[in-house]
């Protein structure tokens, strides 16, 4: 369904949204602007059922990582769109694996309460968002993705044992 959506206060962040409203096309994806389409549309909630959302993120991350690897290997500096998408994907993975929609406004306080998260994620993600278009930020996002996957798997195993 195509629609114009007002950015809710909890999703406002200068890196991802510079305007008050965005247009959601019927073909919107999680790796293209506007990011956080599920939070914006409010129809589906992939964070409520971990499996579907995690599979979607994993598939998109595999494709995006391949593109970024190639660009960084060729020293292509035009990585802005892809790195924004990578940061958005990690935020989705972090929040959704904790059964929560992404909340960008005050994200640090929300993340502190999460059970499933990488070590020092607040500092590391803060670095990524401040140096987003650098190779070091790319490396950090890759590591954060791997660690979040491991933490989520560990949490699922421990949950099943209970």
Cβ atoms 132, 85 nearer than 8 A: no
Angle at which helix 135-161 crosses helix 50-73, to 10 degrees, equals 160
Residues 27-49 have a mean pLDDT of 89
Report percent pLDDT > 70 for the chain. Answer: 99
Tell me which DSSP letter residue 36 carries.
Answer: -
Using alpha carbons, list the distances in angstroms from residue 111 to 72, 74, 101.
29, 35, 12
According to DSSP, the β-strands at 21-24 and 3-6 are antiparallel
Its domain, for residue 58, covers 3-161
Give tens-digit pLDDT for 93-149: 999 999 999 999 999 999 999 999 999 999 999 999 999 999 999 999 999 999 999
Q: Residues with Cβ < 8 Å from 113, sequence gap 6 or more?
A: none
Cβ atoms 114, 47 nearer than 8 A: no
Q: How far apart are CA 33 and CA 37, in angstroms?
A: 9
Count of structural domains within the chain: 1
pLDDT of residue 71: 97
Quote the pTM value. 0.94
């Amino acid at each position: 369904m195509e629609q114009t959506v007002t950015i809710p206060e909890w999703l406002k962040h200068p890196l991802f949204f510079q305007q008050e409203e965005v247009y959601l096309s019927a073909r919107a994806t999680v790796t293209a602007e506007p990011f956080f389409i599920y939070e914006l549309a409010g129809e589906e909630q992939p964070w409520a059922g971990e499996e579907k959302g995690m599979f979607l993120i994993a598939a998109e991350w595999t494709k995006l990582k391949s593109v970024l690897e190639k660009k960084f290997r060729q020293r292509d500096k035009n990585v802005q769109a892809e790195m924004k998408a990578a940061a958005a994907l990690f935020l989705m993975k972090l929040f959704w694996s904790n059964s929560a929609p992404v909340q960008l406004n005050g994200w640090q306080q929300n993340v502190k309460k999460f059970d499933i998260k990488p070590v020092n994620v607040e500092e590391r993600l803060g670095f990524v968002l401040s140096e987003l278009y650098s190779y070091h930020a790319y490396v950090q996002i890759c590591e954060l993705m791997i660690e979040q996957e491991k933490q989520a798997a560990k949490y699922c195993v421990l949950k099943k044992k209970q």
